[in-house]
Amino acid sequence: MTGWVRGAGSEQFFNNANPAYNREMFNEAHDFIVQAWTRPGPWRYEGKHFHYRHVNPWALPYQKPHPPMWIPGTLSPETVQWCAGHRYPYIGLGTPPIPTCDLWDFYADEAARHGYQAGPENFGYMIATAVAETEEKAQQVASGFVYGGGQNAFSAPQFTMPPGYNSKAAIRIMAKQQSSAWLGISGEKVREQMHGAQAEMDFAEVRRKLQAALVRGQRNLQVIVGTPATIIPQIKGIMSVLRIGIFIILSIQGPVGDDARRTSMRLFADEVIPELKADPRKIGLLDPFERAPGSVKLAGGARRAPVVDRDALKELGLQ
């Protein structure tokens, strides 16, 4: 399996790349790599952004025609539309559950337009987790997310979202969200960027906002914190709402000791995963290895089936 990501806005600065061309370059790079995987060489490539005089791949993928691809994102409708068109699974990176449901519906509508029924095999979700033997210890280790560069502090908005990197539609979606996704973008940060940076940085206020965002993230089930017994029902609830065939955990970030990290991973592996493996069978969740994404044909004019369970949102206290 291969994972493909456009790269964060801040990475445009590191690579001296124009962010307005980011999506074009990603799409062209995808097309070139697929050719390199499947087209015997030698051949020449002349594209808009990439030019190679001599391409002669010899170390080819074992999987034919090429390895499966999963595409992560943070509420960008263009990425979802592109994934649906290519029948690739889309992975939500800690995005708020309600707008994630909206994007799943958008994907399913696009899939129907391409003649297939989207299902759990087309959707994945990554969520931050911190597990410990007690609730108090779990909260202690979870505080590392505040300083870990993920949900709260990836980078400043002007670097995460440079002009041209996101479409107007994507920015509108983000601006409506109180809580952040994996790259730490929220409506509040978008509005701050619009009005310019503060003359002086109040670090006490920054810490207060980061801590409040962690609490809010737990309330919105974007960060799962607790003992195995308390987090299993929460994760099962998320799986029921989003009906995902792919579930990825982002383990503890920030200044946390090795013992706490290993304990969190051990508890998740030994006590949480076995429970999560049993539940999908009960609610009909298939992964991309059990059913190929895009393989369920949808007759022309037929209505697509639901891909999310919005009624279950109420049970999680999210609606």
Domain with 293, as residue range(s), is 72-315
Query: Does residue 142 sit in the same domain as residue 279?
Result: yes
269 vs 198, which has greater pLDDT?
Answer: 269
Q: What pLDDT sits at residue 167?
A: 77
pLDDT of 36 reads: 96
Task: Say if residues 221 and 187 touch (Cβ distance below 8 Å).
Answer: no
In the chain, the number of structural domains is 2
Final residue of a domain: which of 67, 85, 117? 67
236 and 166 part of one domain: yes
Q: Is the pLDDT of residue 147 over 80?
A: no
Q: Are 30 and 96 part of one and the same domain?
A: no
Summarize pLDDT for 65-123 with one digit per residue, the tens. Answer: 999 999 998 888 999 999 999 999 999 988 889 999 999 999 999 999 999 999 999 99
The pLDDT tens digits of the residues spanning 227-245 come to 999 999 999 999 999 999 9
Do both 2 and 87 map to the same domain? no
302 has pLDDT over 60: yes
Percent of the chain with pLDDT over 70: 88
Q: Of 19, 48, 67, at which residue does a domain stop?
A: 67
| pLDDT tens, residue by residue, 22-49 | 999 999 999 999 999 999 999 999 999 9
Copy the structure tokens of residue 238: 């998320």
> pLDDT-derived band of residue 14, with 50, 70 and 90 as boundaries?
confident
Judge contact between 2 and 67, C-beta under 8 A. Answer: yes
Do 115 and 262 share a domain, yes or no? yes
Domain shared by 129 and 19, yes or no: no
Clarify whether residues 60 and 88 are in a common domain: no
The predicted pLDDT at position 286 comes to 95
Within this chain, do residues 299 and 186 fall inside the same structural domain, yes or no? yes
Mean pLDDT of the chain: 87
Of these ranges, 13-17, 28-32, 219-223, the one predicted with the greatest mean pLDDT is: 28-32
Task: Answer whether residue 182 shows pLDDT above 70.
Answer: no
Residues 87 and 62 grouped into a single domain? no
**pLDDT band, very low/low/confident/very high, at 155 (cuts 50, 70, 90):** low
Please determine, for residue 169, whether its predicted confidence score (pLDDT) is greater than 80: no
C-beta separation of 126 from 249 below 8 A: yes
Secondary structure (DSSP) of the chain: -EE-----THHHHHTT--GGGHHHHHHHHHHHHHHHHHS-S-EEEE-SS-EEEEE---S--SSSS---EEEEESS-HHHHHHHHHHT--EEEES--HHHHHHHHHHHHHHHHHTTB---GGGEEEEEEEEE-SSHHHHHHHHGGGGGSSSTTTS--HHHHS-TTSS-HHHHHHHHT-SS--TT---HHHHHHHHH---SS--HHHHHHHHHHHHHHHHHTTSEEEE-HHHHHHHHHHHHHHHT-SEEEEE---SS--HHHHHHHHHHIIIIIHHHHHHHHHHHT---TTTS-TT-SB--TTPPPPP-S-THHHHHTT--
Task: Please report, to the nearest 10 degrees, the dihedral formed by the alpha carbons of residues 5, 105, 241, 295 taken in order.
Answer: -70
Same-domain status, 79 and 54: no
Q: How far apart are alpha carbons 73 and 174 in whole angstroms?
A: 12
Q: Where is mean pLDDT largest: 123-132, 137-146, 176-185? A: 123-132
* Shared domain check, 126 and 253: yes
Q: Is residue 24 domain-shared with residue 170, that is, in the same domain?
A: no
Full-model pTM = 0.88
Confidence of residue 280 (pLDDT cuts 50, 70, 90): confident
Instruction: Look at residue 71 in the predicted model and tell me its pLDDT.
Output: 96
Cα gap 98→104, rounded to integer Å: 10
Residue 296 has pLDDT above 90, yes or no: yes
pLDDT at position 102 is 94
